Amino acid sequence: MSIGVLALQGSFNEHLAALRRIGVKGVEIRKPEQLQHVIALIIPGGESTTMAKLAECHNLFPALRDFVKTGKPVWGTCAGLIFLANKAVGQKSGGQDLVGGLDCTVHRNFFGSQLQSFETELSVPELVAKEGGPATFRCVFIRAPAILKAGPDVEVLADYPVPLEKLICSKSVDESQEEKLRSEEKVIIAVKQGNLLATAFHPELTADTRWHSFFLKMVGEAGDQKLNCISTTEGDLSDHQTPNDLPIFQ
């Protein structure tokens, strides 16, 4: 079995390249029936409204929701996080359909516009405990969402400190949340809940593949089906390389 990557729009090529670098075959998913042939799924970053419209056009939402309910691992990055959330705020007029399954409230564009995109080194103890390597991970935020509220079964893997005025001024923050935000002054940017993994940033845009390896361990824990592995030698990968194989941030 292979790992599927939703390939409607966004950084799906970068996820496929990252999977190849750790020796696992990824396949592009554009039709509902293709989900029957993958053991796990990555929903990449991109423009969430556009991705939702394309998913609706291809009648993918029912199949995606069923896939999540089967217990197979699903990882959403940036726009993929929005897709997996049970509730999204800060959306455009009319909103968008969600796949759901992740017990959280996400602010669709918490960190601002394209011009406010940024990179930062953040502590990720759970990732380091399982994958080793540096104590921090370089997180790339591009018009990124943030999780404002997570349910009791959601494991927080990473959070990000933000100015208090940013939290209080957010249109998504109601009075019941304000006291909690005043004491924490941070938002959640990576979580795990059962078979679901979500990150507000873009690990696929770095040379560091630890989040992809972390996800593979979730796949291994979910069942005994064998992953479709490929050789990671330079010769074997040369026929598959595209400009997107080169990580944007080293």
What is the bridge-based pairing of β-strands 38-43 and 2-6? Answer: parallel
Longest CA pairwise span in the chain (Å): 58
Helices 210-222 and 12-21 sit at what angle, rounded to 10 degrees? 80
- Residues annotated catalytic, as ranges: 78, 202, 204
Phi, psi of 242 (to 5 degrees): -130, 170
Residue with tokens 């995109």, as numbered in its chain: 117
Asked if residues 249 and 137 have their Cβ atoms less than 8 Å apart, the reply is no
Other beta carbons less than 10 A from residue 208's beta carbon = 19
Asked if residues 145 and 78 have their Cβ atoms less than 8 Å apart, the reply is yes
CA dist 61 and 54 (Å) reads 10
114: left (phi over 0), alpha (psi -120 to 50) or beta: alpha
Phi, psi of 213 (to 5 degrees): -65, -40
